[in-house]
Structure 1
Amino acid sequence: MTRTTDGEPLLFAHRGFAGENPENTVGAVEAAASVGGADWVEIDVVPTADGDAVVFHDAALSGRGGPPGSDNDHGLTDATGVVWETDTETVTTAEVLDSGETVPRLGSVLDAVPDRVGVNVELKNPGQPPSTLRPDEALTRDALGEQKAIWRPFVERVLNVAEGRKNDLLISSFCEAALAATRELSGCPVATLFSESVEEALAIARRYDAAAVHPPIDAVRGTPFFDASQFGDADVVAAAHDAGRAVNVWTVETWYQADRLAAAGVDGLIADYSTLEKR
């Protein structure tokens, strides 16, 4: 999972280039993989109440809508309810962002991605309140065992759908237990997503021999975006590369961000737009 043959960072279509397309839909990944020119597509998976893996980011089907009467009072879909408390038929008939696209099953999205394009599946939630999942944390043995028991059934369902395809596949998560369950069930490459501690993210990456780490843009040292007040002296790019891991950074929204991150040595840009001018 290194840079392209011309030395540019790989371009990951975040939720199917969410700045251009109705995020996490079949139409989005089709566009990202064709006219968008993505090297990889990145998608989120959660379960329905029936246990089916669907491609969706938020806990609630209404998503990020504002209060009634605001400019964004319609929400992410035209349905309501928590995804993992809602039956598959209701979830998969919910219209995304008034686009005509509906929330898809994981298999439908994977079927839409050409073999030459990689797929980064983010294990978002196994069907539990997010506050119970302990993201961004290297767990003790006892805590890891408890968390793996929560994640394992969903991870197994996701892998059953995703594995055996010709696409390169990468499984990522903010939750250590999701990666641990993946490693126990599969040889699929994994990536550590994080937003807080570089040290804990690198520790988790070592535990599971992760192929990559996925930092936020403000964790990348040597860029104008680096937040020293949060990340101190950590150099995630150097540390990951020293360990043989790729660094794919999220979420990139402008050509300037892409240019500075490329200069800092990242291997992949997880981006909302296909039109980034890579350095």
Structure 2
Amino acid sequence: MSRTPDRSPLVFAHRGASAALPEHTLAAYARALREGADGVECDVRLTRDGHLVCVHDRRLDRVSDGRGPVAAYTLAQLRSFDFGSWHASGEPAGVLTLEELLDTARQAGRPVRMLIETKHPNRYGKAVEYRLRAVLNRHGLTSAVKDAPVRVTVMSFSPLAVRRSRELLPSLPTVQLMDLLPPGLRIRRLPFGTRIAGPGLELVRRRPDLVRRLKAGGHQVYVWTVNATDDVDLLLKLGVDGIITDRPGEVLAHLGR
């Protein structure tokens, strides 16, 4: 039975509707938007010739028929690989650039939130955040305008990358991702003025008090990756602000949306 609280959390599609279709593909994101996801989440890495592509792993092996580090290839070379047939759906797909995903979000016909995670460590270090700023500038997305067709939030597990994003893109919200509690971290205070925490589901299960303490400190909380309805119910009770899921349609239905 679905339960709708006074304020339903935002639902973000993790790498698109990635349970149904290959992650980080245009088809996966298009499906998530059709299903009504409030936003989408993506990981970005730099190619050898300076393009941001939506790929989670450092290496190509798991999600394509290519081999080796993403950073070793140009965009043209990556386009020669199949990024879809590995998935159970069997649908072939090409590599997706961040620019292409931004265009897709713009065409949704409604406001879309986008969570962009910069991956670290990587071969090009801070160049990822600098390139992200350039891309967002080109698309006019460096300001947090409430009624903008696409509203961007930048995330990372690296506190230094989060600080760099705050310095380069001061108008955009940032998320400090975490899968464990670093030694010395004050639960009520996130590093470098970040206002959104992004704990993993396993961490929240082990430490449900974490959400309460973060909320008491004035932070929002987005939890990843949440696919089971029992876990959705747990997060509703805890009052989280965002749910990041591989199954956006199912989570929305459970929320009564």
Residue 113 of structure 2 is matched in structure 1 by 118
Q: Report deviation, 1:202.
A: 5.2
Task: Identify which of structures 1 and 2 has the higher relative contact order when contacts are C-alpha pairs closer than 8 Å and 6+ apart.
Answer: 2
Once the two structures are superposed, the pairs formed by residues 50-65 of structure 1 within 5 Å of their partners are 50-63=49-62
Once the two structures are superposed, the pairs formed by residues 1-279 of structure 1 within 5 Å of their partners are 7-34=7-34, 36-63=35-62, 76-98=63-85, 99-113=91-105, 114=108, 116-125=111-120, 127-128=122-123, 151-163=125-137, 164-165=140-141, 166=148, 167-187=150-170, 188-197=172-181, 206-220=190-204, 226-227=205-206, 231=207, 235-274=209-248, 275-276=250-251, 277-278=254-255
Residue 73 of structure 1 is matched in structure 2 by none
Distance 1:89 1:117 in 2: 29
Assess if the C-alpha contact under 8 Å between 1:262 and 1:278 holds in 2: no
Q: SS at the partner of 1:96? A: coil
Assess if the C-alpha contact under 8 Å between 1:213 and 1:246 holds in 2: yes
Q: Report deviation, 1:266.
A: 1.1
Distance 1:25 1:211 in 2: 30
AA matched with 2:73 = T
CA 1:173–1:200: 2 relative to 1, 3 Å: farther
CA 1:203–1:186: 2 relative to 1, 3 Å: farther
Q: Report deviation, 1:199.
A: 6.4
Hey, which bits of structure 1, 4+ residues long, moved more than 3 A? 198-207
Distance 1:126 1:160 in 2: 20
- The two structures have a TM-score, normalised by structure 1, of 0.76
Distance 2:216 2:177 in 1: 18
Q: SS at the partner of 1:112? A: helix
Q: Report deviation, 1:126.
A: 6.0
Distance 2:228 2:202 in 1: 14
Q: Report deviation, 1:209.
A: 2.0
Alignment coverage as a number of residue pairs: 232
Distance 1:217 1:110 in 2: 27
- The two structures have a TM-score, normalised by structure 2, of 0.82
AA matched with 2:176 = T
Assess if the C-alpha contact under 8 Å between 1:16 and 1:23 holds in 2: yes
Alignment deviations for residues 161-196 of structure 1 (CA, whole Å, 9 cap, x no partner): 134233111100000111111112111210000111
CA 1:21–1:238: 2 relative to 1, 3 Å: same
AA matched with 1:61 = L
Distance 1:246 1:193 in 2: 12
CA 1:251–1:48: 2 relative to 1, 3 Å: same
Residue 145 of structure 2 is matched in structure 1 by none
Distance 1:258 1:160 in 2: 36
Q: Report deviation, 1:200.
A: 5.4
